Structure 1
Amino acid sequence: MRYSAGHKLETRERLLHSSSLSAKKSGFSTVGVDGLMKAIGLSGAAFYSHFSSKDALFAAIVERELSQSLERLGGQEGADRERLQRCLKQYLSMAHVEQPEAGCALPTLGAEIARSDVLVREQAQQCICRLQQSWAQILESDSLAWAILSQCVGALVVARMLATEDVQRTVLNASQEEIARQLAVPRAE
């Protein structure tokens, strides 16, 4: 039975969405093609009608997730310091620690991106640099934008590694306080 082009696109989108959630929650390399397809109710054999390889799916996940993170974290026109501070507070929250599948892909997939081929790393770099440039424009400092971006991702990675909520909160609060201090420092022209 032949499926319509619309059905194929819908199935590809379901696979991409489901695989993105799974990758952010458990890591991408931990699940095979059969498991990814089973999650959307299809057999592993159907995978190759949507992606040429598991690496191609990972590249699509990286593009999708980092583009969404860029959009959520400051890629909008007219973003200002106040909006950025709200985004950073939400980013450095226990909800983000506890629900990796609902948040930014960098803390969960960063190590896998680093081990990927150069095309995936270039794709990630492009999105990360766009986010950094957006923040640099708001903060009027390239280096501060890189520092805060790195602080946020690192704090989330560390918080997720820890066993108790109290220590996780301590890491998040310390990062929020340090970022707030940096944002309060007047920048030289």
Structure 2
Amino acid sequence: MRYSANHKLETREKLLASSAMSAKKSGFSTVGVDGLMKAIGLSGGAFYSHFSSKDELFKAIVERELAQSLERLSGEKVLDSQKLERCLKQYLSMSHVEQPEAGCALPVLGAEIARSDVQVREAAQTWICRLHESWARILGSESLSWAILSQCVGALVVARMLATPEIQREVLKSSHDEISRRIAQQRPD
């Protein structure tokens, strides 16, 4: 059977999207190559026509997911303080807590990225630094940008560890309020 010229690219994109969703929902290391391929209706052997190893797939997922996060959280245009506030509200939301597969990869894959080889960590660093730079331009502070980025990711991790929605909401609201206070202090009067 002959496939179209785009078939391999389309299959690779399906594999990336499906694997990213699976990784953000259950962790990347929990699913084998056969399971990843089965999710898109192909055999495990077909995997190697797209990636040389599962580590190469993980690196591609990290790059793809963090590029998408950068786009959602800063975009190509200069980010203004109103857009930053909307991003913070969306990021620190119960829907983000409850649907990890639809959100930022850092809270769910951060520990796996940290344990990965240097190529994966370098890929993550590139995209995280781009987001940091975008926020630092708006905030006028490199350190505040790092603090907010870290607080957001950490707040989601903590909220997801908790069992009670009321306490999850409290973590998110407290983090949002503290970040908003710090941003307001940073602005010139």
- Report the TM range for the smaller structure's normalisation: over 0.9
Q: Which amino acid aligns with 1:125?
A: Q
Q: Which amino acid aligns with 1:169?
A: R
Q: Determine the C-alpha separation between the residues in 2 that align with 1:121 and 1:64.
A: 14
Q: Determine the C-alpha separation between the residues in 2 that align with 1:142 and 1:96.
A: 26
Is the CA contact (8 Å cut-off) linking 1:75 and 1:130 kept in structure 2?
no
Is the CA contact (8 Å cut-off) linking 1:70 and 1:127 kept in structure 2?
yes
Is the CA contact (8 Å cut-off) linking 2:139 and 2:186 kept in structure 1?
no
Could you tell me how far 1:8 is from its partner in structure 2?
1.1
- Equivalences for residues 21-36 of structure 1 within 5 A: 21-36=21-36
Q: Determine the C-alpha separation between the residues in 1 that align with 2:180 and 2:114.
A: 29
Q: Structure 1: which 5+ residue stretches go unaligned?
A: none
Q: Determine the C-alpha separation between the residues in 1 that align with 2:14 and 2:48.
A: 14
Q: Which amino acid aligns with 1:56?
A: E
Percent identity of paired positions between Structure 1 and Structure 2: 77
Q: Which amino acid aligns with 1:13?
A: E
Report whether the alignment pairs 1:177 with 2:185.
no
Q: Report the 3-state secondary structure (helix = DSSP H, G, I; strand = E; otherwise coil) of the residue aligned with 1:41.
A: coil
- Give the 3 Å change call, closer, same or farther, for CA 176–34 of structure 1 in structure 2: same
Is the CA contact (8 Å cut-off) linking 2:24 and 2:109 kept in structure 1?
yes
Is the CA contact (8 Å cut-off) linking 1:75 and 1:131 kept in structure 2?
no
Deviation per residue, 1:75-132 (Å, 9 max, x gap): 4312101110110110000000000010000001000100111011011001000100
Residue matched to 2:10? 10
TM-score, L = length of structure 2: 0.97
Residue matched to 1:94? 94
Is the CA contact (8 Å cut-off) linking 1:34 and 1:43 kept in structure 2?
yes
Is the CA contact (8 Å cut-off) linking 1:91 and 1:152 kept in structure 2?
yes
Runs of 4+ in 1 over 2 A off after TM superposition: 1-5
Q: Determine the C-alpha separation between the residues in 2 that align with 1:112 and 1:181.
A: 32
Could you tell me how far 1:187 is from its partner in structure 2?
5.0
Q: Structure 2: which 5+ residue stretches go unaligned?
A: none
- Equivalences for residues 98-137 of structure 1 within 5 A: 98-137=98-137
Q: Determine the C-alpha separation between the residues in 1 that align with 2:2 and 2:30.
A: 32
- Equivalences for residues 31-70 of structure 1 within 5 A: 31-70=31-70
Report whether the alignment pairs 1:144 with 2:144.
yes
Is the CA contact (8 Å cut-off) linking 1:37 and 1:43 kept in structure 2?
yes
Is the CA contact (8 Å cut-off) linking 1:19 and 1:36 kept in structure 2?
yes
Q: Which amino acid aligns with 1:34?
A: D
How many residue pairs get aligned? The number is 188
TM-score, L = length of structure 1: 0.97
Is the CA contact (8 Å cut-off) linking 2:91 and 2:152 kept in structure 1?
yes
